[in-house]
Amino acid sequence: MIRLVLLLLLAGLSLGTARARPLTVYAAFGYDRAVAQAFTQSTGIAVDLVHLSTGPLQARVQAEGRRPQWDVLWFDGDMPMRNMASQHLLACGWMPKVSYDAAGRALLPADRCYLPVGLTYAGTLLVNTQRLPDAPRTWAGLARAGLRGKVGMNNPAISGPTFPFVAGILQQDGMRAGQAWFEALKANGLKVYPTNSVTLRALQYGQIDVAVVQSSAALGFAQREPDLRIVAPDPVAELPSDIAIGAQVRGAELQQARRFVEFVLSPAGQRAMQHGDPSADSNYQPLIRGVAPLPALARLHVRDAQRLDPTRWGAREASVDLWFSSHVLH
């Protein structure tokens, strides 16, 4: 009898230890820490947050491969999510109770391997109107002679959110014409920086007059600089943020991971997102009914939103990044 009691106690301790393991979340947003803290306060579930920018985070996931160290993955871009789903790294088929709006439903994959959380746009223009009062309004206008050496963008091989912008141009114009346009930008003195923050600093310090950056970064930065104007040329590529659970997650950890996803897609989780980084990532378009965007989004006027097929363009990302590096960077 005593032996049975001891075994039950040891089993209870073992289960308690398993439940006490922090939920490991890999995320790439300025608000991810605020969301993790709000989730822990709401549920009592501890979160081990690994925060990196999008490109390095995706590279880390690929390096870990079949031995993932993460439970939940959350970043901008359904193309890499689709690639990871095809590699069987994501748990598929589960859908929480969430009331998506029409835009959210359109971004929801049929296999439910990942779930859309919010929407930004991959390539918008942020223009210094004091130095450049005649702001370009089209993509073609960026290659005009008067903008020689005045246009900057991110490197899509480093900045994960930039690849959809490049893919959008290639889809709109066709591969050859789109590549020729980027080569024309290069010939006109295009400056390429690693990430949004570096490109925006170049704009701030007058190294460029036009920055091609993600809409959330442009909206946040423009709040501090009254001379900056945001332009969304037609078309502008959609960039959804997506969240997924690892295929390897089981048992109590799976239930915790699902609770985290449910929290992110709840009004409380959305509030934490919108309050966590108002100078950048919080400026997204919500996809949940009843959740209003931040007031800053009133400055963004998108007429022609471009939807990119994540399967098609996800498969082409490596080759397009290689082409960009060899023909535009060098």
Domain of 96: which CATH number? 3.40.190.10
Please count the structural domains in the chain: 2
pLDDT of residue 225: 86
pLDDT of residue 9: 39
Tens digits of residue pLDDT in 110-169: 999 999 999 999 999 999 999 999 889 999 999 999 999 999 999 999 998 899 999 999
Q: Binning pLDDT at 50, 70 and 90, where does residue 20 land?
A: low
Beta bridge partners of 95: none
Answer yes or no: do 179 and 322 share one domain. yes
Q: What is the mean pLDDT of residues 240-267?
A: 98
To which residue do tokens 């790294």 refer? 89
Sheet with 124-128, edge to edge strand ranges: 191-193, 151-154, 210-213, 124-128, 228-231
Q: Is 73 helix (H, G, I), strand (E, B) or coil?
A: strand
> Domain of 183?
121-237+304-329
Answer yes or no: do 135 and 183 share one domain. yes
pLDDT of residue 21: 86
Q: Is the pLDDT of residue 10 over 70?
A: no
State which amino acid sits at residue 27. A
Answer yes or no: do 216 and 312 share one domain. yes
Q: Which residues contact 67 (CB under 8 A, 6 or more apart)?
A: none
Answer yes or no: do 248 and 143 share one domain. no
Q: Is the pLDDT of residue 2 over 90?
A: no
- Tell me how far apart the alpha carbons of residues 231 and 238 are, in angstroms, rounded to a whole number: 15
Q: Binning pLDDT at 50, 70 and 90, where does residue 226 land?
A: confident
Q: Is the pLDDT of residue 3 over 70?
A: no
Q: What is the mean pLDDT of residues 194-213?
A: 96
Q: Is the pLDDT of residue 201 over 70?
A: yes
Least confident range of 186-190, 221-225, 311-315 = 221-225
Q: Binning pLDDT at 50, 70 and 90, where does residue 302 land?
A: very high
Q: Binning pLDDT at 50, 70 and 90, where does residue 330 land?
A: confident
pLDDT of residue 181: 97
Tokens encoding 228: 């900056």
pTM of the entire predicted model: 0.91
Answer yes or no: do 58 and 159 share one domain. no
